[in-house]
Chain A
């Protein structure tokens, strides 16, 4: 924790977005949003539907390019043209409904898009043994019991699926894990499990961006909470500076009480 409060001179954030803007036709989905994510930090990204949460994470994960603004990764300016570029840097995104392909096995899902290969003449063949062993190790590490790594994902529960998607990021040495509504479809028990996986990811030095509607889910694990509204950032607090009640007030009313007072005083 102290590394965040007393930054070293050489300190650089993992991700820094400066004045990010994104337009869809004449609609501004994102207006001048600044975002900073430190190493080992869990950032809660909250806001109502249409606030710009998913546009922002799609920019960070290479799905969209910002129309203006800069994106810095570990102190270097980057341009992400595709999700593949983002994954190469170590930014892994787990989408709510798009994390896994249900009709495929756990092992095939685990390595999708980053398959281990064995060179065989002119062909690259899948390294089936490595896929199975690494997947089974991951399943044991996160405490999921299944019959086999070849089991279809469709037979797993929602929490197990989130766990596998998170485990995949940790396995591939990801630096930033973006979770899109990871708890929205889960039971209370499974939500708590997913929150503990997020804790585990932070302990291993990953940065986590946690997008949610439900402040009560993100508050216990977050170090920092960012509130978006109508494409603008209306709040950016360390957890200890704020409370759930105050955050709800901001989400509902759009602006923080004391900042309104400052605005009034200056204006």
Chain B
């Protein structure tokens, strides 16, 4: 360092002009966005599939991608919220299947009003989430354990209720069309629109409200948050409830789009949602993350799923591909983080 003359870092330290607060080189401010890792991953995925199959960038394919991303993504938004506040939920896949099954059964076997059945299904899902939260927080066991148990328990309940058989709805029910059955544009199902709206709402809550500040603080350093009067218990409980609600909504979207629900669907959903979240730049350890990154993470995973089908590769490769992307995107984020703090 000595022999290289005055470094720019040194200069900026010795001239503390207040104006320096506002000066950002454009490229550096770009690096400060946590979404940069997932944006790169998305570009790589698109380039690979487009080079192998020209139709990959057609409106139809993109519509398929966002439709598939919606059901995963709505759960991933909840997973991100909960992860930022420092907890995780492995039971979302079971919750997803349970809620879809419950909605289908209430409509077909008990002839309930679909709207009422929908409300009840969502309330049950939110209740499952809240129960996870209450057990985790009041007893003080890791959420990994609580929700691992809940994952098995609710899967078992869903299997018992249907005796392992899928349920299909053949009638035309307006609610199901509104949830995911109808298309708004080309191959884009309406569930993608709901997902976008939910993403925007949660983005606003996280970035632009005092509650979002509490979510970051609770996951970043619980003791400090508590010392400053942030109700950390309440924040975590609310986030457990929200992810339950969103998992149930994801199940209802899928029932709406497919017209049927199987008690074995969503087995990998919890890990996929966590993967979408960390690919999007959210820290598994909490305290850090963005909703935009999560949405892009879900789109990346859906692109892999659709892309593999389009190039005619066996769908078995999906998990391998996702695994590769998870590690690559997080590695990129970590390296960029080091560069940024070193530049301070």
Instruction: Name the residue of chain B whose CB is nearest to the CB of A132.
Output: B21
The segment from B133-141, B208-216, B325-333 that touches chain A is B208-216
Contact with A along B54-71 (1 / 0, CB 8 A): 000000000000000000
Decide: A124 near B227, CB < 8 A? Known: A101-B287, A102-B220, A147-B20. no
Judge whether A98 and B221 touch: CB under 8 Å. Answer: yes
Q: Is A108 an interface residue (CB 8 A)?
A: yes
B209 touches A123 (CB 8 A): yes
What is the bound-complex CA distance between A82 and B32, given in angstroms? 36
Contact with B along A135-156 (1 / 0, CB 8 A): 0100010000111110110110
The yes or no answer to A13 lying at the interface (CB within 8 A) is: no
How many angstroms between the C-alpha atoms of A126 and B210 in the bound complex? 6
- B209 lies within 8 A of A112 (CB): no
Asked if A126 and B220 make an inter-chain contact with CB atoms under 8 angstroms apart, the answer reads no
Chain A 40-67, CB-CB to B under 8 Å as 1, else 0, gives 0000000000000000000001010000
Q: Are A83 and B213 in contact (CB under 8 A)?
A: no
Chain A interface extent, by class? 35 or more
A112:B225 contact, CB within 8 angstroms: yes
- What chain A residues lie within 8 Å of B219 (beta carbons)? 103
B7 at the interface (CB under 8 A from A): no
Q: How far is the CB of A160 from chain B (nearest CB, A)?
A: 12
Q: Are A148 and B210 in contact (CB under 8 A)?
A: no
Contact A108-B213, Cβ < 8 Å, known A84-B229, A101-B220: yes
Q: Which of A63, A98, A146, A155 contacts B21 (CB 8 A)?
A: A146
A30 at the interface (CB under 8 A from B): no
Which residues of chain B are near A108, meaning CB under 8 Å? Answer: 213, 216-217
Majority-rule SS of A interface residues: loop
Contact A145 B224 (CB under 8 A): no
Cα–Cα, bound, A84→B225 (Å)? 11
A200-248 interface (Cβ within 8 A of B): none
B287 touching A104, Cβ below 8 Å: yes
**B230 adjacent to A113 (CB under 8 Å):** yes
User: Quick check: is A115 within 8 A (CB to CB) of the other chain?
Assistant: yes
CB contact under 8 A between A98 and B227, given known A140-B18, A154-B341: yes
Least CB separation from A156: chain B residue: B344
Whether a CB of chain A sits under 8 angstroms from the CB of B223 is yes
A125 to B209, CA, bound (A): 4
Contact A101 B21 (CB under 8 A): no
Contact with A along B210-251 (1 / 0, CB 8 A): 101110110111011111111000000000000000000000
Which of B208, B213, B283 has the most C-beta atoms of chain A within 10 angstroms of its own C-beta? B213
Complexed CA–CA distance, A97 and B221 (Å): 10
With A104-B220, A126-B210 known as contacts, the answer to whether A112 contacts B228 (CB < 8 A) is yes
In the bound complex, residues from chain B placing their C-beta under 8 Å from that of A147 are: 20-21, 23-24, 344
Known: A103-B287, A145-B20, A149-B21. 12 other contacts (CB 8 A): A83-B226, A87-B229, A98-B224, A103-B288, A104-B216, A115-B210, A123-B209, A126-B209, A126-B210, A148-B22, A148-B24, A151-B344
> What are 8 inter-chain pairs, A to B, with CB distance below 8 A?
A101-B225, A102-B221, A104-B217, A113-B217, A113-B230, A114-B228, A140-B18, A151-B344
